Amino acid sequence: MDRQVAMVWDCWQRWAALGGFLAQGWVSLEAKPHETIHLSTYAALEADMHQVYDASGDCFYGFVQSHGELRYDETPPHIYVSMSLAGFEGWDGMAANKVVADMQVGERARLEYPLPVDWLLGLGPQLVRDFVDVWQPDAVSLDSIELLDLSPYRGSGHPTVGYFTWVGPLVADPAVLPDTPVRESYAGGTLFGIDPATPDPIEDAAAIAVPLYESGVLNALPYVQGQPNPPSIA
């Protein structure tokens, strides 16, 4: 549990260092109605995660950024993050972490409070690197619904390809990955993606994703994080 708490806290600190709405504080989703539990310290986060685990016996956590007393339809950009973290004593049902950071705005506030897409794309490679550093995953992607819908394997244990994607060596041999505007070796894997300044990021990302899906060169994500799948799973 100590390692899980440290990973969540490290992730938040890295986002905060990037500024903008990424630096907003966090609140617990375990609070009672009309109650707010701010997670502004490591100790508060640790207590909240222990409470979740003690109450449910599993390792599923969710947090949302604090954005004041605004109504939902007035909400400015913020992040909801959900985490399925492998049990610290081992689990039969799950052996790999899954962390999703969902950037949102209020449904009727999209024109007044749009997500700063150009700014986020400029930060895209760093956001992916930070995820790699914190979670030590087998794959990371910065994507959107438009790109997720392109994946023929969505939800099936295969990686998705986004605006920026990092895959470890168990997921893809670097030699089979495309030569893209952003391309670098990082943390034992490969980071690749679009030009952050492109006028059409969805089209450019789709031009990378679709051929990769069709080629079949992306392996299923390891069931045990960082270890090859048995032939029956791969």
Return d(Cα 107, Cα 119) in angstroms, integer: 21
Q: Are 180 and 151 in contact (CB under 8 A)?
A: no
Q: What are the residues whose beta carbons fall under 8 Å from the beta carbon of 2, sequence distance 6 or more?
A: none
CA 143 to chain centre: 9
**Residues 91-105 pLDDT 10s:** 455 557 789 899 987
N residues, the chain:
234
Q: Are 37 and 30 in contact (CB under 8 A)?
A: yes
| 17: enclosing H helix or E strand | helix 2-18
**Residues 195-217 pLDDT 10s:** 999 999 999 999 999 999 999 99
* Residue among 220, 108, 200, 204 nearest 160 (CA): 220
Return d(Cα 48, Cα 61) in angstroms, integer: 10
How many Cα neighbours within 13 Å face the side chain of 61? 29
pLDDT tens for the chain, 234 residues: list them: 788 899 999 999 999 999 999 999 999 888 776 778 889 999 999 998 888 877 776 778 889 998 655 455 567 888 999 988 865 544 455 557 789 899 987 655 555 667 899 999 999 999 999 999 999 999 999 999 999 999 987 766 789 999 999 999 999 999 999 999 999 999 999 999 999 999 999 999 999 999 999 999 999 888 777 788 777 655
